[in-house]
Amino acid sequence: MFTGMMPVTRALVLTCGLAYLLQLVTGDSLAIHLALWPVHGDPYYPPFQPWQLVSYAFLHGGFTHLAFNMFALYMFGSEIERLLGTRRYLAYYTVCVIGAALAQLAVAQLSGGEPRPTVGASGGIFGLLLAYGMAFPQRRLILLFPPIPMRAWVFVTLYGLVELVLGVTGTQAGVAHFAHLGGMVAGFLLITYWRARRT
């Protein structure tokens, strides 16, 4: 699996895998400190800490969650890393992760309710999907279920719209749809900024 993977993408996959093993060993203690907690004043829940804006992206809520995210990272990460270069790729991924976290914090603040932690690399991966769709719009991708081929820009656009609908309607409770969208928006803004600097 690691053959042909670029260094930052490989490091991200390995770090997420290691973090998951630590989660299995330590139980909830990692999530207490490293998951993304909303800003709240309830003493019965862990507080928000600045490092959680990044650390949450290395934790996952189960093996299936980890497997899907790492498969997507494997599929799209190295291609974008080759395109951007190692340093810029790491910066891009980090900005998407932080953008996703900020979107999730904003939604949690507006919706109120019981504080719940957010974990997962999905925000960064949705940013990678956006970059892939913008860089290679005509490439064909095939959905897993159902196996329908479509161009990359169509796939990314539809995926974003589905996430927006699911987020607005509150479908699939427990999935951070707006964090996914936040990762895409952050990625789009950074790509737009980089392109503007070249002109």
Whole-number pLDDT of residue 172:
64
Conformation bin of residue 142: beta by default, left when phi > 0, alpha when psi is -120 to 50: beta
What does each C-alpha distance from 124 to 99, 106, 147 come to in angstroms? 9, 17, 24
- The structure tokens 């603040």 sit at 109
Closest by Cα among 139, 167, 169, 166 to 155: 139
Long-range contacts, 153-159 (Cβ 8 Å, 24+): 156/129, 156/130, 156/132, 157/133, 159/126, 159/129
Please give the model's pTM, rounded to 2 decimal places.
Answer: 0.91
Whole-number pLDDT of residue 44:
87
Q: What is the pLDDT of residues 79-115, one digit of tens each?
A: 999 999 999 999 999 999 999 999 999 998 888 778 8
Conformation bin of residue 194: beta by default, left when phi > 0, alpha when psi is -120 to 50: alpha
Domains, the chain, in order of start with CATH, read 7-198 (1.20.1540.10)
Tokens found for residue 125:
């991966």
Closest by Cα among 117, 91, 86 to 104: 117
Whole-number pLDDT of residue 145:
64
Residues with Cβ within 8 Å of residue 103, at least 6 apart in sequence: 123, 178, 179, 181, 182, 183, 185
Average pLDDT, the chain: 90
Inter-residue contact 180 to 100 (CB < 8 Å): yes
Low-confidence ranges of the chain (pLDDT < 70): 1-3, 143-146, 170-174, 199
Whole-number pLDDT of residue 114:
81
